[in-house]
A and B are shown apart, each in its own frame.
Chain A
Amino acid sequence: MTTVQTAIGPEKTMVLNMGPQHPSTHGVLRVLLELDGENVVTANVDIGYLHTGIEKTAEALTYSQAITITDRMDYLAPLSNNLAYCLAVEKLLGIEVPKRAQYIRVLLTELTRIGSHLVWLGTHAIDLGAMSVFLYCFREREELLKIFEMVSGQRMMTSYFRIGGLALEPPTGWTDRVQKILNTFPSRFDEYEDLLTKNRIWLARTQGVGMLSAEDAIAFGVSGPSLRGSGVNYDVRKYFPYSSYEEFDFKVAVRTEGDCYARYMCRVMEMRESLKIVKQALEKIPAEGPIKADAPGIVAPQRERMKTEMESLIYHFKIYTEGFAPPPGEVYQRIESPRGELGCFIASDGSPKPYRMRMRTPSFVNLQALQKMVEGHLIADVIASIGTLDIVLGEIDR
């Protein structure tokens, strides 16, 4: 789609406020659109409507307590946030998580990725008018939420990972549920593709829309499928593997067109690749084994031991009253969340509470590209562009 000619000048343009309450902004996002008819002259993004001071709150909580607030940032992929934070603290402490816990983490994180992409696909499609896709995606997502509820007790704000491993042993029978997902989802993804991929309306609304070149994407710090749709092959799981990702065989979805359609194809392919990873993880997870690291002052001992051994009782008491204190220092841990590079920076001063916890959230950085994507184009393409960036306001504003 070519850039349209506009008649610039204050008398010729109208400033329209899109949001903060708008069904298509996927949250409380405000975009000030200066319009010349239907053409967008300038677009200024205003955020901060969901700012709750998560980073400041984390400074008042112990390292274990802070896991619960990380869920609420990217609320469509809570386990990803948990993972980034736990990996950062484990790196800071220098403890090794047992393989069984690592594989379960990978499995659940990939299921989270599928769940997040399902919400993205459903909402992006319904914004552009394809309403049935939304219902189908949420039908699939329901199965995933049931699994999260089975293992952690929570559908969304799971807080299932702990420093050193997992919170609880997953219940028996959960692998059967995961297997059922592996059996049913591929054909469901085919259904979505039947509805959208070659659909003339979909193609007309997404091809050539929201163009982002590779140079711009790198300059703006874009990551995730939004970057890979523009041809840059950067996936943290391959670049800086974490939690045993180097042991899994999967492809990274990269397209070169740089438009909404390319990003759509990337994310659909990513869902399929995630299923592959889930299948491999399911085979790799040993039936028995520890789910928490063996780190006495950091990871609480098993309850039976706490009730019978004095030393375990003392450790338990100290961990839950004082908390554990990592050495002073700073770490930055990157993971590949469904939206891109999620980085957790923790500065420790040797006390049991994080001195500074910073989450570098992909939506915050990716949203900078919106201005470039929509200026000079039609107002209807703003909706497609916001949808294609897959933003979550919780992680933008924190």
Chain B
Amino acid sequence: MTDTPDLEKNLNVARIRASHPESIADLMWFRGELTIIVPREHLLTLVQFLASDPELSFTYLSDVTAVDRFPIEPRFELNYHLLSMSRRDALRLRVRLPGESPAIESVMPVWPTANWHEREIFDLFGIRFEGHPNLRRMLLPDDWEGHPLRKDYPTEGPR
């Protein structure tokens, strides 16, 4: 928790650097958790590798979370929380998306569980997931306008 270890010695970083070096835009270590910042265009290839590589085997997707950093650009951060059950290891991937028409490929081909996570993010943040078979609202009524978890969504008064 205090000292940042040598991240290049971390197995996940080393394997990714060896096979998909362009996928690592940045590395972060905070409170014992490793975060890899991935450029948007490389995400799908990277996750396909992470899930299928026998040495890493990140076969389980725990969570997909979005954060709205309005008014900073790139506005949205998408965090993918991966878990490797065989190695008892966790990893976070972060992708930054612009505020204008944010979109990214769906990771459903790799982890079907992303289905509802991505629908919820579309519902509450307005980020589109290309290739998602059923991208429509789920928590809010179908005719709702606006995306409530965005920071510029009004918290009081008439909409």
Contacts and interface: CB of A to CB of B under 8 A. Distances in A.
A282 B111 CA distance: 41
Contacts of A368: 112-113, 115-116
Interface stretch (B4-12, B15-23, B98-106, B137-145): B137-145
B131 to A, nearest CB: 16
Contacts of B32: 91
Given A94-B31, A331-B30, A345 B88 contact: no
Nearest to B150: A56
Interface string B62-105: 11010110000000000101000100101010000000000000
Given A48-B138, A56-B149, A364-B116, A345 B63 contact: yes
A36 interface: no
Contacts, number: 94
Contacts of B149: 55-56
B122 to A, nearest CB: 13
A343 interface: yes
Interface string A209-226: 000000000111110000
Contacts of B63: 332, 343, 345, 358, 360
Given A329-B30, A343-B63, A343-B81, A48 B90 contact: no
Contacts of B81: 332, 343, 345, 360
Contact of B140 (A51, A222, A332): A51
Interface of A is mostly: mixed
B155 A60 contact: yes
A91 B155 contact: no
A345 B63 CA distance: 9
Interface in A317-360: 329-332, 334, 341, 343, 345, 347, 355-356, 358, 360
A47 interface: yes
A101 interface: no
A364 B116 CA distance: 8
Interface stretch (A185-193, A232-240, A252-260, A376-384): A232-240
Nearest to A349: B69
Given A234-B85, A332-B92, A56 B148 contact: yes
A334 B88 CA distance: 13
Interface of A: 46-48, 51, 53, 55-56, 60, 91-92, 94, 218-222, 232, 234, 239-240, 329-332, 334, 341, 343, 345, 347, 355-356, 358, 360, 364-365, 367-368, 397-398
Interface of B: 1, 30-33, 35, 59-63, 65, 67-68, 79, 81, 85, 88, 90, 92, 111-113, 115-117, 120, 124, 137-141, 148-149, 155
23 contacts: A48-B138, A48-B141, A91-B32, A92-B31, A219-B112, A220-B112, A222-B113, A239-B88, A330-B33, A330-B67, A331-B30, A331-B33, A332-B62, A332-B79, A332-B90, A332-B92, A341-B62, A343-B62, A345-B63, A360-B62, A360-B65, A367-B116, A398-B139
